Structure 1
Amino acid sequence: MSPRESTLTWISLVALPVVAALGLLVSLAPVGLSATDMPMPDLVFLPLAVWLVRRPEAAPLLVIFAIGLAADLLRGGPLGIGALGLLGVSELLRRMADGLVRGPFMIEWLVVGGLFIGLLAFQCIALWLTFSPRPAFGLLWQHAAGTVLLYPLIAFALRPLAGSRGRAAGLRSLA
């Protein structure tokens, strides 16, 4: 690994928790207090997904678990369900990263969106099995739609930190 690649990896490694924490803080901000407002997209999942596709080596499992656990704690959900789902999705994305970066962006977007919907389904099943209250179906789909539709914008915004699609593919092929 060249010094430039090593520096980029370290920057990405430090930037991921910072960006995820900012996303968590923004999602916890008291905006949209009326009952008719659309739920906030998942601003913790989106940067993690971008990082896992562009720079999977800069997203260690321990960091992902810590981010998921912090999100569970601060959002007030059952402790560990979101973190466990995030770990599962992150490993799937990590294994598919090479193919996603080399393919068209639309495929990446569809895969990330499908995995997010699967993550929500896992969380709902886990809540059902533990007899915990589940979110309303309509709100859940609005949350999923907002998150999936926001992915291209987040991927574009995080290009300087997480890397562009071509550069990520080139760096991984050198390894």
Structure 2
Amino acid sequence: MVDALLPRAWVMRALYLALCIALLFLHLLPLAHTPPKWAGPDLVMALTFAWAVRRPDYVPVLLVGLVALGLDLMLQRPPGLWAALMVIGTQTLRNRASALRDLTFAAEWASVASSMIVMTVANRVILAILMVDQAPLGLSLMQLMSTLIAYPAIAFLSHALFGVRKRAPGDLDPAGMRP
């Protein structure tokens, strides 16, 4: 019934936006009275990358940019820097998606990990060049590691709960064309 009214890609884009808003809401909830001793994963980045590798049409570049910019503003990060890095990282993974389609999950994870590492290093270098205060290196590395560890769970949940699967070699897009 939903496919008759809206194409699946639009439904999944709305679901992606809703999940990102829910993750932001959970991140901003004051659940503890003391600062945490560890930096949690960036679940929005893991979700975005999992969907970009598996179904790039579900996370268009404009939507990723707007979500990341909104996160920058809400989390009081330098506006635009992490959003630009997220767009570049997502586009890099989107370009590799067809090559990763036939490979194992380990290859996908390694590709995502390399993008995350490059983004984190680029963020720290740019902030250092501009002499902007930034979190200690240990916290940035801790967040990177926890995001890398959380990625398989996010990819599994995306696959199991939301049906975000890699395209098979013979799959056609809704217009009947090969992607």
TM-score range, shorter chain: 0.7 to 0.9
Matched, 1:161 2:152: no
**Residue type at the aligned position of 2:51:** W
Offset at residue 123 of structure 1 (A): 1.0
Is 2:121 the partner of 1:118?
no
Deviation at 1:32, TM superposition (A): 5.5
1:106 aligns with 2:100: no
In 1, distance between residues paired with 2:23 and 2:168? 26
Distance 1:172 1:26, change over 3 A: farther
1: CA distance between counterparts of 2:163 and 2:113?
Answer: 19
Deviates more, 1:46-55 or 1:156-165: 156-165
In the TM superposition, what is the alpha-carbon distance from 1:33 to its structure 2 partner?
A: 5.4
CA contact (8 A) 1:41 1:147 kept: yes
Alignment-derived partner of residue 143 in structure 2: 143
How far did 1:35 drift? Answer: 5.2
Quote the Cα distance in structure 1 between the aligned partners of 2:9 and 2:22: 20
Deviates more, 1:125-134 or 1:64-73: 125-134
Q: What are the residue-to-residue correspondences of 1:31-46 with 2, within 5 Å?
A: 31=31, 34=34, 37-46=37-46
Q: Which has the larger radius of gyration?
A: 2
Taking structure 1 as reference, are residues 172 and 91 closer, same or farther at Cα in structure 2, changes over 3 Å only? Answer: farther
Aligned to 2:91: 91
Q: Is the 8 A contact 1:52 1:94 kept in 2?
A: yes
Which consecutive aligned stretches of 4+ in structure 1 deviate over 6 angstroms post-superposition? Answer: none
* Counterpart Cα distance in 1 of 2:31 and 2:125: 28
CA distance in 1, matches of 2:40, 2:172: 33
Matched position secondary structure for 1:44: helix
Q: Which has the higher helix share?
A: 1
Residue 53, structure 1, aligned to residue 53, structure 2: yes
Structure-1 residue corresponding to 2:12? 12
Query: Normalization by structure 1: what TM-score?
Result: 0.87
Q: How many residues align?
A: 170
Q: 1:64 to 1:36 in 2, by over 3 A?
A: closer
CA drift of 1:38 comes to 1.2
Give the RMSD, CA atoms, in angstroms.
Answer: 2.1
Q: Work out the percentage of aligned pairs sharing the same amino acid.
A: 24
Question: Unaligned regions of 5+ residues in structure 2, if any?
Answer: none
1:130 CA displacement: 1.5
* Structure 2 length-normalised TM: 0.85
Q: Do the aligned residues in 1 keep the contact of 2:55 with 2:165 (CA within 8 Å)?
A: no
In structure 1, stretches of 5+ residues that fail to align are: none
Distance in 2, Cα, partners of 1:138 & 1:21: 27
